[in-house]
Structures are given as C-alpha cells and as structure tokens.
Amino acid sequence: LEQAFHVLAGRDDVRVVVLAGEGKVFCAGGDLRWMRRVADYTAEENLKDAAMFQRAFDAIDRSPLPVVGRVQGAALGGGAGLVAVCDVVVAAEGTRLGFPEVRLGLVPGVVSSYVMRRIGPGQARRLFLTGELLRAEEALDLGLVHHVVPEPDLDAAVGDVVAALRAGSPDGLRRAKELVRAMVEAGSWEEQAAVACEAIAEARASEDGREGTMAFLERRRPRWAT
C-alpha cells in the first residue's frame, strides 16, 4: 500500500483513488499467519514492524489525491484504521466496523492517531476499550464513514462520490487536503487565521485558481471538468 500510493501520487493521469477490498469483506484485520509470526518477535523487531505499518497508513493519509473508501462486510482493527485515513467513505449496509484488539491483549496502536482525529478521543476511548463492533449506521453517526447504502448500490454510490471529486480541480483538491491538515496542526486561532489567509491567497494566484475563476465568469466548464 505504501508503494502503491507513492506511485499513484506521481501519476498525472490519476485524479481519484478508490480503496476497496476483494471478496466479502473490506479488511478483517491482522492476517493469522502474520500474527503467529510476530508473536515471537523481539521488542526491536516489533518496533520495526509497527513503523512499517505506520508508513503504509501515512502514505494513504498524506496522499495528495482524494481517496475514497469502498467498504463492505467488515472493517476491523487495521481495516477500520484504513477507513479512518480515507477522505470519503461509502459503506454497505450490514458492514461491521470496530477495534477488537483488546480482546487479543493488544491495542490499536498505529491507527489510533488517525481514528481519534476522525471521531474524537471520547468515542475512540469507548471503542478501543470495549472492542465492540459498530453497525455501518452507527459508524455514520460517529463520522467514521460518510455514506451508508444497500450493498447492491455500493458501486453506484462510490461512482457518485468519484464524479463529485472529479468536478474539483486536481490542484484545488490537493490544496484543500493540505489546508485541513494544516488547520488541525495549527496550535492557536492566530496560527489558523494565518494558515487560512495564506491558503486562499496562494490558491487565487495558482493556475487552477485563475482557470476556475475565468471559467465561472465566462460561463464555461473549466479545463479539468471531463
């Protein structure tokens, strides 16, 4: 995943990435063979493995491209973490999401920062401690997913989201993602205000900003709207 997202970020012919799972479930969590193997790891080996895991999630989270999650069946543990790093998530009715790590004597360590940023520390504490599984509708209420549809309609709903994203300029989408991150990381209102002013000033002066403004004034479609 880390390599794939770095490669995709460098391709000019890619506008949106859809992250999906094959088969009946999106991602059921840790692979059993991997879990047996890491049970015998040293502390140093575990730390190295966790850092590799972290890099994969970070590559998705920091991708300049919009990432749409297509989720069905189950998204558990690291699978629910993948949901948390997608920009827009469409889940099928009947999907179960959760963090059952404590039931194995573990914690959702690597994904915790992404999940807390998505749903807040209060809800994260509840889900991390109980290990309970959420219905897709409950995950929608928490903001972990954004749309819940009948499973037969999943692809069409994902297509609608992709179409909406393709209406935005590639540069504008990248700048919008950077803006959200910078606003979250800003430590004070003054810093947020500075980030916001700089973001709009740079966007207005950008090639896409000028093209979008002129297209609006000339009542035509901007060049990226294909």
- In the DSSP assignment, the letter for residue 100 is G
**Cβ pair 59, 113 in contact under 8 A:** no
Query: How far is 74 from 27, CA to CA, in rounded Å?
Result: 6
Bridge partners for 147 per DSSP = 90
79 backbone dihedrals φ, ψ, rounded to 5°: -65, -40
Bridge partners for 201 per DSSP = none
> How do 17-20 and 96-98 pair as beta strands?
unpaired
Q: Which residues are catalytic?
A: 101
